[in-house]
Structure 1
């Protein structure tokens, strides 16, 4: 057993000999074997099924492009804007007054017929009656709408204000009041009877009115009956009734 004692102890200067060897990294696994041709066809078939089952991706539609306006529309819009600016900048002129349709003779006659007296009791009765259903029904039938009673109440309060005036001053005030009423009612451009009937501009010559001839009156009853039968016969002949009766007989 001498060999046991002859074995030398490890020297402390060589620690690397006692340390375990560093772990070695395992070698990379060898590449998987290439699939056979049958597996390749199966995988291709499965991929085709998955592709067919999957919904197709939604196509993103491009936003619609705004259509450019036509040249004619641009021209019309430009002309309209320029016309509006020109109209806004132009000074507003009052419309010309309508031509006077009444003759001086008719105006003088109206001036002579203006009243100079006024009854406050009658003015109140007219204004009060305007609010009754009968008066408003008459206004709807005649004018197509209800009537405003403010004008009649203005007449009443005007009469009350002029009660304390003197005779001459009161007559002049009443005449001016009715003159304003007539000017408002029959002013040029207001609706009046001339919208239907044309007024005369000159006097009718004497002897020309009702100058149509009329048959003389018949005083005898027998003569009147004979003339009536003759008139009826002429009417039947014009209508062809008399000839049909004779042909049927």
Structure 2
């Protein structure tokens, strides 16, 4: 099969598997739903305290949106290990490098496109309720953060996908990553803030700050997350190449 045909087939897989496509749509739904649930009531009081970066506060929904992105990456990969689907995929595309590369490209592109939209949605929805504390799109870092949100979500999706190819289980990956991001990351931050800066979620989210914290800048932080994603994808590629279907 040609590269174009394989890319098209991977996109068909994403659209036809309800759990994966539902997780992708959940990225958008969560970005709107959480913003509407939080900012009308506590948006301005929290911004008025001055204890949090004004720009980063707009992306509070990211705490939940990234879970949907992780789920999308995990389900997109785990679908290959259900009911012998990988054997069928390899029968159609014997070149494992092409199969893995096409899936990575399609999953990453879909997550990036939806993530960028979600970034703008979070930005403008939150701002609608902040009154005098709103951040204009022309302010320093604002436009960067909208596109950066999409880039971060794409990388965290690929990180999840790579781990799923390695472990061959979406349940295992979700059981590891979701508690890690929601709990362990904050525990490590409480013990050693310097070490926590290099974790994939903490590093990547520096791009959402108007004034990034710690030693990593906005683009350096997203670069660290990219290295985490690349390492996971490399491990997943190795697993696909070396293990039986």
> Which protein has the bigger helix share?
2
Which structure is higher in RCO with an 8 Å CA cutoff and minimum separation 6? Answer: 2
Q: Normalization by structure 1: what TM-score?
A: 0.21
Q: Normalization by structure 2: what TM-score?
A: 0.22
